Amino acid sequence: MVNRVAVLSYHSSPLVEPGSGDAGGMTVYVRQLAEALERRGVHTDIFTRAVSDRPRVLTISDGVRVVSIDAGPRVSVEKEILGSYVDEFAAGVRAFATMQRGVYDVVHSHYWQSGLAGIGIASAWGVPLVHSQHTLAHVKNSYLAPGDVPESQARLNGEATVIEGADVLIASTDEEWRQLSCMYGASHDRLKTIHPGVDHRIFKAGDRSVAREQLGLDADDAVMLYVGRIQPLKGLELAVRAAEQLVSALERRLVFLVVGGASGQGGERELNRINGLVESMGLGPNVRFFGAQPHVALPTFYRAADVLVVCSHNESFGLAALEAHACGTPVVGTPVGGLSYIVRDGESGWLVDSRDPAGFAGRLKTVLSDWDLWRGFSQNALVSAANFSWDGAAAAYHELYECLLREPFPHACTC
């Protein structure tokens, strides 16, 4: 029986609010999955690199602890030099387990640098290593946004090592499953698709007029929303250009809410560029930048909005789209990552397979102008979101962990 899992989240702590810097969908994933596993009686210790003088062990609930391991300086450092401290981190995790007499049944690593640490840790403990990618360098490089920096050779090499060394690789979508197989040559018996979830306790339909009042919006504004970190990959320029066309095409005032802060190499530059674009187009009165917002504050934004816009060049899944649907908000987005599972094209939103602002603006206009269509989309959005939950994801992981303990190694089980 699986009692305790060591979760490795080397570069991003689940204690940091998502929405800027290194904290995004993966941060939400790690914490929500741990809490859902706890509900199934599986305890987790989430190991992360120490970046402050915060206590070494923080208990966030009965079955979930966050353990900060000293590896390199106790400050945030660029992702690019983080690789230098992976061995120190792995040694720190093992030392902590020895000191605490902690026994773990499975190691589950998130993102490639955690995976590198996980290979040695899992082998030293004689337990299986399950690895979730979150993003893949080859994929990011093949969908590079204009002006974006390609992922490094060090990352490409590191990912190859992890993909070779993990017992099971988790894909968030069948598309990621294929990418792992075709771009990285991962053997099929080690691949498993598990969709992420959404916390339906907080992301649920609610009173739209109350939400609008809280955000200082008028009842008859046409409200378009973006939620996510700001970096070239997210393609925010397309949404701004579509907004420019909508301002004159709509009979109502358009308000575009942008929630999230700069992230990664080039994030600040991208944010400044988008700000400049908004100003140069005279969209200042229509666009409101909120910066990163606490995760629990987001349902208010989704409920206040008529539509969430997702313009990413690539996504590994796209939690923001799922959260919007769970609040009954239609989505207009690019058909990337999990969006084709979440958004029912023409029923709960639109997937637009071109980066032409006119195409986007056209689809947005239909959602923002036709109340009956909007109501139908909103109902269908709720139905679609009901198919995803963290409890469902945790059940799939739990079954996998149990199965791995039953199967003799090195043959991984993909039940």
CA 280 to chain centre: 31
Distance CA 116, CA 160 (A): 10
- Under the binding rule (CB under 6 A), the answer on residue 317 touching ligand UDP is yes
- Under the binding rule (CB under 6 A), the answer on residue 43 touching ligand UDP is no
> What is the closest distance, in whole angstroms, from the C-beta atom of residue 20 to ligand UDP in the complex?
7
Cβ atoms of 273 and 295 closer than 8 Å: no
Q: Which parts of 196-255 interact with ligand UDP (CB under 6 A)?
A: 227-229
Single out the segment in contact with ligand UDP by CB under 6 A; choices: 47-55, 69-77, 293-301, 391-399: 293-301
> What is the closest distance, in whole angstroms, from the C-beta atom of residue 160 to ligand UDP in the complex?
22
Peptide bond into 408 cis (omega under 30): no
Q: Which is nearer to ligand UDP, 93 or 263 (CB)?
A: 263
Residue keyed to tokens 């208990």: 59
Single out the segment in contact with ligand UDP by CB under 6 A; choices: 24-32, 116-124, 267-275, 340-348: 24-32
Contact residue for ligand UDP among 5, 7, 8, 292 (CB under 6 A): 292
- Under the binding rule (CB under 6 A), the answer on residue 171 touching ligand UDP is no
Q: Which is nearer to ligand UDP, 120 or 266 (CB)?
A: 266
| Total of chain residues touching ligand UDP, rule CB under 6 A | 19
Distance CA 259, CA 297 (A): 11
Distance CA 252, CA 351 (A): 24
Q: Which is nearer to ligand UDP, 49 or 229 (CB)?
A: 229
Single out the segment in contact with ligand UDP by CB under 6 A; choices: 17-25, 120-128, 183-191, 360-368: 17-25
Q: Which is nearer to ligand UDP, 17 or 38 (CB)?
A: 17
| DSSP secondary structure letters along 215-248 | TT--TT-EEEEEES-BSGGG-HHHHHHHHHHHHH
Single out the segment in contact with ligand UDP by CB under 6 A; choices: 75-83, 207-215, 288-296, 353-361: 288-296
| DSSP secondary structure letters along 55-108 | -SEEEEETTEEEEEE--S-SS---HHHHGGGHHHHHHHHHHHHHHHT---SEEE
> What is the closest distance, in whole angstroms, from the C-beta atom of residue 207 to ligand UDP in the complex?
20
DSSP 372: H
> What is the closest distance, in whole angstroms, from the C-beta atom of residue 257 to ligand UDP in the complex?
11
Counting Cβ atoms within 10 Å, is residue 53 exposed (0-12), middle (13-18) or buried (19+)?
exposed
> What is the closest distance, in whole angstroms, from the C-beta atom of residue 322 to ligand UDP in the complex?
8
- Under the binding rule (CB under 6 A), the answer on residue 308 touching ligand UDP is no
Contact residue for ligand UDP among 30, 86, 259, 309 (CB under 6 A): 259
Contact residue for ligand UDP among 6, 323, 331, 352 (CB under 6 A): 323
> What is the closest distance, in whole angstroms, from the C-beta atom of residue 316 to ligand UDP in the complex?
6
- Token pair listed for 113: 């640098």
- Under the binding rule (CB under 6 A), the answer on residue 264 touching ligand UDP is no
Distance CA 275, CA 262 (A): 12
Counting Cβ atoms within 10 Å, is residue 337 exposed (0-12), middle (13-18) or buried (19+)?
buried
- Under the binding rule (CB under 6 A), the answer on residue 349 touching ligand UDP is no
Find the Cα–Cα–Cα–Cα dihedral 210, 214, 218, 220, rounded to 10°.
-40
Single out the segment in contact with ligand UDP by CB under 6 A; choices: 5-13, 16-24, 100-108, 174-182: 16-24
Distance CA 190, CA 199 (A): 28
Query: Where along the sequence are the contacts to ligand UDP (CB under 6 A)?
Result: 18-19, 24-25, 28, 227-229, 259-260, 292-293, 295, 298, 317-320, 323
